[in-house]
Amino acid sequence: QVQLVESGGGLVQAGGSLRLSCAASGLTFNNYGMGWFRQAPGKEREFVASITWNSDTTNYADAAKGRFTISRDNAKKTISLQMNNLKPDDTAVYYCAAEPMNAGTSSSRYLYWGQGTQVTVSS
């Protein structure tokens, strides 16, 4: 049984930082690219960042570039998203997801999903 469990969300003021983590189990972690997506109230789920199995390639949404950093630790089967200079528009539920062999930007290619962690940025 594959499980992805996010943690690290919370309430932060604008300009602050948060570090999200996602722990994976039940899958051969090295065979998966990993991604972060988010969904704000009333909006569709959107891509945030992704990382290939060996960390050689990362992708970021324009809104995340320069502020967010994705990383992974294959030994611990975890990924992280360091979010700096947070803005109220970053308020959303953040999900980690696993895509077989790749690390694209389309949610439809991701096979496994976590339950999400809430990030709220106050102005």
Residue 101's pLDDT is what?
85
d(CA 32, CA 111): 10
Q: What percentage of the chain exceeds 90 in pLDDT?
A: 98
Q: What is the pLDDT of residues 26-75, one digit of tens each?
A: 999 999 999 999 999 999 999 999 999 999 999 999 999 999 999 999 99
Q: Tell me the residue type at 49.
A: A
Among the listed residues 25, 10, 9, 8, the one whose alpha carbon sits nearest the alpha carbon of residue 76: 25
